[in-house]
Amino acid sequence: MRRKREVKILYKDQDIAVCEKPAGMPTADDKSGDMDVFHSLKNQLFFEENLDREPELYVIHRLDRPVGGVMVFARTKEAAAELSRQVREHIFEKDYQAIVNGWLPEEDGVFTDYLLKDDKKNTSCTVPEETKGAKKAELSYEVLDMVETGEGKLTYCLIHLMTGRHHQIRVQFAARGFGLYGDTKYNKKFQKTKKQYEEIGLYATRISFRHPVTGEACTFKAEPKGKAFFMLEELDAW
């Protein structure tokens, strides 16, 4: 195995590995053939732990390619099964920080929609509840700040996912006219650019779950990174 692009490891033991995914890097193999987090982390564990064979590693959840943030991978089948159960039963918590175009009308709220995924186009959209194949998507948000910039009005918010649907945050905010900053897929303001994997104003800043073996409560955090968040820092937005 060759050493390739590395990801930042936040924690590891014999059962799990927690890392910070860089924006623009796929979670696992995709059609681009670019190095992904899954294989990069495998390579890293192999060299750091001086292993004599390829380490086990299992994907538990994913982040969209343009999104960076905290992820956990399982290192055994048993750990993978337990963490996957926590995801299904909503024990596994995921929080994001986001920057959206426009000023949200309410300081906090809940978005509930039904989403339909188009596998051929790799997109999702909101549809009526009775639509065949539609899945319920729900999130809550809290506004942290609203600023006026040279690029227009922006809202900085904290998002808690109650479900984990394909492109959920991006679709639900865009459907209400508040597309994520930099999102070339769903935000009409940015759809003219051809930079498909440009980072967007969305970062997975916190995950929380029970350790799959010890049962201990585990929480891991990361500060948001990227052009949009740096811009707010420059404006002393928080």
CA of residue 64 relative to chain centroid, distance: 6
What is the value of pTM for the model shown?
0.91
CB–CB of 63/226 below 8 Å?
no
Please tell me the predicted confidence (pLDDT) of residue 105: 93
Please tell me the predicted confidence (pLDDT) of residue 220: 98
Mean pLDDT of 9-20: 98
Q: Indicate whether 223 pLDDT > 60.
A: yes
pLDDT category at 231 given cuts 50, 70, 90 is confident
**Tell me: the pLDDT tens digits for 22-43?**
998 999 877 777 789 999 999 9
Percent of the chain with pLDDT over 70: 92
**Tell me: the pLDDT tens digits for 63-117?**
999 999 999 999 999 999 999 999 999 999 999 999 999 999 999 999 999 999 9
Q: Indicate whether 238 pLDDT > 60.
A: no
Of 156, 143, 141, 144, whose CA–CA distance to 231 is shortest? 156
- For the chain, report the end-to-end CA distance as a whole number of angstroms: 43
Q: Give 82's Cβ-side CA count (13 Å radius).
A: 17
Kindly compute the dihedral angle of the four CA atoms of residues 211, 214, 217, 218, in this order, to the nearest 10 degrees.
Answer: -40
With tokens 């590891």, the residue in question is 12
Q: Indicate whether 196 pLDDT > 70.
A: no
